[in-house]
Amino acid sequence: MSLERILACVSGGIAVISMVLAVMARVFFADKAPFGLSALSYLRATNTMLLFAIAFMIYDYVNKKTGG
């Protein structure tokens, strides 16, 4: 497994976890913020990690196509 594939899986996993935390923060902790972060912060982390995952997957795909 290539490094790009591993990084894509790790960032995708972090994105899923932060999405779950964002939903929990929005539903269950409306007046408090778990771990000191608001739901919007978790969603921003989700967005960033999904972009990382997409970028690494594209890089891995292009790297395999060009034979590098």
d(CA 50, CA 32): 26
Q: What is residue 68's predicted lDDT score, i.e. its pLDDT? A: 65
Q: What is the mean pLDDT of residues 23-45?
A: 77
Q: Are 43 and 22 in contact (CB under 8 A)?
A: yes
Prediction pTM value: 0.71
Q: What is residue 41's predicted lDDT score, i.e. its pLDDT? A: 82
Pick 61 or 31 by higher pLDDT: 61
- How does residue 34 score in pLDDT terms, banded at 50, 70 and 90? low
Pick 59 or 26 by higher pLDDT: 59
